[in-house]
Amino acid sequence: MREKAVRFGTSAPLVGVVTEPLGQPASPERPAVIFLNSGILHHVGACRLYVSAARALAARGFTVMRFDHAGIGDSEVRREAMPFEQGAILDTRDAMAHLTSTKGTQRFVLMGLCSGADMSFRVAGQDPRVVGLVQLDAWAYRTLGYYLRHYGKRARDLSAWTNFMRRKIRTVLGGSKPAGEERGADTVGAEYRRRFPPREEVAQQLTALLDRGVRMLYLFSGGQEEHFNHREQYRASFRDVNFRDQVRVEHLPDADHLFSGLEHQRFVIEAMTEWMSANWSASPRSEAPPPAASRQLAGAAAR
Amino acid sequence: MNPFFFGSSQQPLYGVYHPPKARVPRRTGVVLCYPLWQEYMRAHRAFRQLAMLLSKAGFPVLRFDYFATGDSGGAGEEGDVTRWVTDIGMAIDELKDMASVPRVSLVGLRVGAALAAAAAVRRSDLDQVLLWDPVISGARFVEQVMARHGVATTNAANGNGTGTVGVDGFPLTETMRRGLQGIDLLETSAPNARELVVVVSDERKDYVELRDRLAQRRVKARYTHIPSAGNWDEIDKFGSALLPQQIIQGIVSCLAGEAVS
Structural domain boundaries in chain B: 12-256
Query: Considering the domain boundaries, does residue A22 fall inside one?
Result: yes
Among A213-222, A282-291, B91-100, B195-204, which stretch is predicted with the lowest mean pLDDT?
Answer: A282-291
Q: Looking at residue A204, which CATH number applies to its domain?
A: 3.40.50.1820
Q: What was the pLDDT predicted at A7?
A: 97
pLDDT tens digit string along A112-129?
A: 999 999 999 999 999 999
A129 with A278, same domain?
yes
A66 with A95, same domain?
yes
Query: Considering the domain boundaries, does residue A186 fall inside one?
Result: no
A296 vs A220, which has greater pLDDT? A220
Q: Which residues of A touch B245 (CB under 8 A)?
A: 186
How far is C-alpha A134 from the geometric centre of its chain's CA atoms? 7
Contact B95, B102 (CB under 8 A): no
A35 with A56, same domain?
yes
A163 with A116, same domain?
no
Strands A32-36 and A2-8: unpaired
Rounded to the nearest angstrom, the minimum Cα separation between A44 and chain B is 6
Query: Considering the domain boundaries, does residue A287 fall inside one?
Result: yes
Identify the closest residue of chain A to B65 by CA–CA distance: A44
pLDDT tens digit string along B188-223?
A: 888 899 999 999 999 999 999 999 999 998 888 999
- Distances from the Cα of A45 to the Cα of A88, A128, A177, A270, A292, angstroms: 16, 26, 31, 16, 21
Rg (CA), chain B: 17
Identify the closest residue of chain A to B229 by CA–CA distance: A186
Helix, strand, coil share (%) of chain B residues, nearest 5: 35, 20, 40
pLDDT tens digit string along B227-256?
A: 999 999 888 777 789 999 999 999 999 999
Q: What was the pLDDT predicted at A281?
A: 80
Rounded to the nearest angstrom, the minimum Cα separation between A192 and chain B is 8
Rounded Cα distance, A163 and B77, in Å:
39
A134 with A149, same domain?
no
Query: Is pLDDT above 70 for B178?
Result: yes
A39 with A146, same domain?
no
Q: What was the pLDDT predicted at A186?
A: 76
Task: Look up the ipTM and state it.
Answer: 0.93
Query: What is the SS3 assignment for B202?
Result: coil
Query: Considering the domain boundaries, does residue A18 fall inside one?
Result: yes
Q: What was the pLDDT predicted at A164?
A: 65
Query: Is pLDDT above 90 for B14?
Result: yes
Q: What was the pLDDT predicted at A273?
A: 97
Q: Which residues of A touch B16 (CB under 8 A)?
A: 15, 74
A19 with A154, same domain?
no
Query: What is the SS3 assignment for B147?
Result: helix
Number of H helices, E strands in chain B: 7, 11
> What single-letter amino acid sits at B142?
V
Q: Which residues of B touch A258 (CB under 8 A)?
A: 169, 237-239
**B9/A4 CB distance under 8 A:** no
Cα–Cα nearest to A34, from A176, A178, A138, A130: A130
Identify the closest residue of chain B to A71 by CA–CA distance: B45
Q: What was the pLDDT predicted at A303?
A: 27
**B243/A298 CB distance under 8 A:** no
Average pLDDT over every residue of A30-41:
95
Query: Considering the domain boundaries, does residue A191 fall inside one?
Result: no
Identify the closest residue of chain A to B246 by CA–CA distance: A186
What's the total number of domains in chain A? 2
What average pLDDT does the structure give for chain B? 92
Of B9, B75, B242, the CB nearest to A293: B9
Query: Considering the domain boundaries, does residue A185 fall inside one?
Result: no
Q: In which domain, by residue range, is A157 found?
A: 142-178
Cα–Cα nearest to A256, from A135, A114, A143, A134: A114
Rounded Cα distance, B64 and B128, in Å:
18
Among A186-195, A223-232, A240-249, A266-275, which stretch is predicted with the lowest mean pLDDT?
Answer: A186-195
A116 with A152, same domain?
no
Tell me the pLDDT band of A158, cut-offs 50, 70 and 90. low
**B239/A41 CB distance under 8 A:** yes
A100 with A244, same domain?
yes
Q: Which residues of A touch B18 (CB under 8 A)?
A: none
For residues A42-78, one letter each, b for 16 or more C-beta atoms within 10 angstroms of the residue's C-beta and e for the rest, the string is bbbbbbbbbbbbbbbbbbbbbbbbbbbbbebbbbbeb
In chain B, what is the straight-line distance between the N-terminal and C-terminal CA atoms, in Å? Answer: 28
Q: What are phi and psi of A35, to 5 degrees?
A: -95, 135
Angle at B217 between CA B211 and CA B219, to 5 degrees: 70
How many Cβ pairs within 8 Å bridge chains A and B?
152
Query: Is pLDDT above 70 for B40?
Result: yes
Looking at domain B12-256, its CATH superfamily turns out to be Alpha/Beta hydrolase fold, catalytic domain (3.40.50.1820)
A154 with A269, same domain?
no
Q: Which residues of B touch A15 (CB under 8 A)?
A: 1, 3, 16
Query: Is pLDDT above 70 for A251?
Result: yes
Among A181-190, A194-203, A208-217, A290-299, which stretch is predicted with the lowest mean pLDDT?
Answer: A290-299
A112 with A162, same domain?
no
Strands B193-200 and B221-225: parallel
Q: Which residues of B touch A291 (CB under 8 A)?
A: 10-12, 73-74
A110 with A239, same domain?
yes
Contact B36, B110 (CB under 8 A): yes
Q: What are phi and psi of A80, to 5 degrees?
A: -105, 150
Alpha-carbon torsion (B121, B124, B126, B127), positive or negative: positive
Rounded Cα distance, A43 and A89, in Å:
16
Tell me the pLDDT band of A169, cut-offs 50, 70 and 90. low
Query: Is pLDDT above 60 for A285?
Result: no
